[in-house]
C-alpha cells in the first residue's frame, strides 16, 4: 500500500468517525428531563425538572409542567427558587383519591414557573425546578408534558409521549417511571431522590443516556484515528516496490 492510499484511508476514517460522533450528539440533544426518572408506586419522591436553553439568541422565561389527570398525585409541594414565581392550578378529579383522611376530590394538575428580572435561563445555561410528589399512583409511569417559553415569544412543546418501538420522539415529554414498592412501606419519602438535597447529582446518575452515547462516540473516534496512524507508519517503513 503506498503512502497516498494510506493518507486517504486516514482522512476517510477520521471523517466517518467525526460524522458518527456528531450524529450521536445530535440524537442526544438536550431536552427537558425529570431527575431522577424512576420512583416507587405509593411513595413520595423529590424530583427536579432540568430545563436547558436550546436557543442561540433567546432566554427561557417560563416553564409549564402538566401533571396527568388520569393518574393524579394527591400532594404536590414546590421548592422556592430565587428569581422565579411559581403558581399552581388545581382541577376537579373524575375519580377521587382515597386516603386515610378521607377522599381528595381535586389535585394540582399544572405548575408554572415565571422568571423575574435577570433570572431567565440564558443561552448555554440550564435551570432546575424541584418538586415533591406523593403518594405516587399505581401506574407504570407519569408523562409530565412541559411547555418552555422563550423571550422571543416562541414555545417549545415537550409533549411527545414515549414511542412504542423505543425510539425517541422529536420533542419527548419528561417521563417518571414508577416501579412496584418494595417491602410495602410507602408512608414516608424513603427514596434516595427524596433524601438528596437540591443540586445533588448523585440522585441523577444514569438518567441521561446521551452522555453514554457521547463517550462511546469519542472512544470509537480515538480507536479509528490510532489505527489510521499505525497503518500510515507501517506503510512508511516498507521498501518501495
Instruction: Give the CATH number for residue 50.
Output: 2.60.40.2230
Q: With 50 as the cut, is the pLDDT of residue 28 above it?
A: no
Asked whether residue 101 falls in the same domain as residue 140, the answer is: yes
Reported as a single tens digit per residue, the pLDDT across 154-192 is: 999 999 999 888 788 999 999 999 999 876 544 444 333
Q: With 90 as the cut, is the pLDDT of residue 225 above it?
A: no
> Hey, which bits of 43-145 come out as E strands?
45-52, 60-66, 75-78, 84-99, 102-115, 126-134, 141-143
Q: With 50 as the cut, is the pLDDT of residue 239 above it?
A: yes
Q: With 70 as the cut, is the pLDDT of residue 237 above it?
A: no
Q: Which residues contact 16 (CB under 8 A, 6 or more apart)?
A: 224
Q: With 60 as the cut, is the pLDDT of residue 131 above it?
A: yes
Helix 209-237 with 3-27: angle, nearest 10 deg:
180
pLDDT number for residue 65: 98
Asked whether residue 119 falls in the same domain as residue 185, the answer is: yes
Asked whether residue 17 falls in the same domain as residue 46, the answer is: no
Cell numbers given for 92: 376537579
Q: Report the relative pairing of strands 33-35 and 45-52 from DSSP bridges.
A: antiparallel
Asked whether residue 235 falls in the same domain as residue 127, the answer is: no
pLDDT number for residue 168: 86
Asked whether residue 212 falls in the same domain as residue 188, the answer is: no
Confidence label for 197 from pLDDT (cuts 50, 70 and 90): very low
Asked whether residue 74 falls in the same domain as residue 113, the answer is: yes
Asked whether residue 195 falls in the same domain as residue 110, the answer is: yes
Asked whether residue 136 falls in the same domain as residue 213, the answer is: no
pLDDT number for residue 165: 85
The answer to whether the CB of 6 falls within 8 A of the CB of 98 is no
Domain count, the chain: 2
Asked whether residue 223 falls in the same domain as residue 145, the answer is: no
Q: Rounded to whole angstroms, how far apart are CA atoms 49 and 87?
A: 15
Asked whether residue 4 falls in the same domain as residue 110, the answer is: no
Asked whether residue 174 falls in the same domain as residue 198, the answer is: yes
Structural domain harbouring 6: 1-30+208-241
Asked whether residue 163 falls in the same domain as residue 112, the answer is: yes
**pTM of the entire predicted model:** 0.67
pLDDT number for residue 224: 58
Q: What percent of the chain has pLDDT over 70?
A: 63
Q: With 50 as the cut, is the pLDDT of residue 106 above it?
A: yes
Reported as a single tens digit per residue, the pLDDT across 38-86 is: 999 999 999 999 999 999 999 999 999 999 999 999 999 999 999 999 9
Q: What percent of the chain has pLDDT over 90?
A: 55
Q: With 60 as the cut, is the pLDDT of residue 18 above it?
A: no
Q: Give me the residues paired with residue 178 across strands.
A: 39
Amino acid at each position: 500500500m503506498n503512502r497516498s492510499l494510506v493518507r486517504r484511508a486516514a482522512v476517510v476514517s477520521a471523517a466517518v468517525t467525526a460524522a458518527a460522533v456528531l450524529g450521536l450528539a445530535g440524537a442526544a440533544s438536550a431536552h427537558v428531563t425529570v431527575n431522577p426518572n424512576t420512583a416507587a408506586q405509593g411513595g413520595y419522591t423529590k424530583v427536579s425538572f432540568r430545563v436547558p436553553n436550546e436557543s442561540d439568541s433567546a432566554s427561557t422565561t417560563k416553564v409549564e409542567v402538566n401533571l396527568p389527570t388520569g393518574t393524579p398525585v394527591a400532594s404536590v409541594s414546590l421548592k422556592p427558587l430565587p428569581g422565579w414565581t411559581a403558581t399552581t392550578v388545581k382541577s376537579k378529579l373524575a375519580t377521587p383519591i382515597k386516603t386515610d383522611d378521607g377522599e381528595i376530590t381535586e389535585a394540582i394538575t399544572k405548575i408554572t414557573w415565571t422568571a423575574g428580572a435577570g433570572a431567565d435561563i440564558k443561552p448555554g445555561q440550564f435551570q432546575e425546578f424541584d418538586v415533591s410528589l406523593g403518594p405516587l399512583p399505581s401506574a407504570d409511569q407519569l408523562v409530565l408534558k412541559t411547555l418552555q417559553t422563550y423571550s422571543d415569544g416562541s414555545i417549545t412543546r415537550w409533549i411527545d409521549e414515549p414511542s412504542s418501538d423505543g425510539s425517541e420522539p422529536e420533542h419527548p415529554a419528561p417521563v417518571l417511571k414508577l416501579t412496584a414498592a418494595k417491602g410495602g412501606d410507602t408512608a414516608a419519602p424513603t427514596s434516595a431522590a427524596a433524601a438528596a438535597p437540591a443540586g445533588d447529582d448523585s440522585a441523577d446518575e444514569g438518567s441521561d443516556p446521551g452522555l453514554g452515547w457521547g463517550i462511546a462516540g469519542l472512544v470509537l473516534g480515538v480507536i479509528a484515528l490510532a489505527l489510521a496512524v499505525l497503518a500510515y507508519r507501517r506503510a512508511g517503513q516498507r521498501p518501495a516496490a
